[in-house]
Amino acid sequence: MSVLLARLPVLLAALWWGGISALSFLAVPTLFATLGSPAVAGPIAAKLFSLQCWAGLLLGLALLMLLRRERSQMVGPAPSPEQLVLLQRTLATMGVVILGMMLALLQEFGVAQRIVTARASGGNLKLWHAVGSAMVLGQWLCSGAVLWRLGK
């Protein structure tokens, strides 16, 4: 059981990174190429990105809980220099998870709504798509960094 708990963070990070990779680089481009019309493909892509944001938030929360558990097991009354390095590494990884989660929240509750509003009102859709793409890229980089750091 302890081996499973030790490897679970790597699995969760892989699911997070793999989900964003598959959605962003395969599913959504295929969707637009297959359906042909951005008016048809756009709302479907938006729903997929929304689902990915929620998945990222849940996976990130699970990662934080597991990393917190790992961190609490490291800290003793007099930690060795090696333990301090591992503790710093774990805290930095937690920071990257939190950054990825914040990007997901900003995308879901800020940028996604701006895209919908711009589409309906004739606003700057190109700008908000670029910002949304940057948010997804940021989440992809964060989840990849977490996966890299955990894949010892």
Number of domains in the chain: 1
Average pLDDT, stretch 19-41? Answer: 93
DSSP, collapsed to helix, strand or coil, labels residue 75 as: coil
What single letter denotes the amino acid at residue 19?
Answer: G
Alpha carbon distance 101, 104 (integer Å): 5
pLDDT of residue 86: 85
> Does 106 score more than 90 pLDDT?
yes
Burial of 50 (0-12, 13-18, 19+ CB in 10 A): middle
Pair 50, 132: CB distance under 8 Å: no
Report the range of poorest mean pLDDT among 17-21, 43-47, 74-78, 137-141. Answer: 74-78
Pair 75, 117: CB distance under 8 Å: no
- Domain housing 83: 2-150
pTM exceeds 0.85: yes
What are 58-87's pLDDT values in tens digits?
Answer: 999 999 999 998 877 766 677 788 888 888
Radius of gyration for the alpha carbons in the chain, expressed in angstroms and rounded: 18
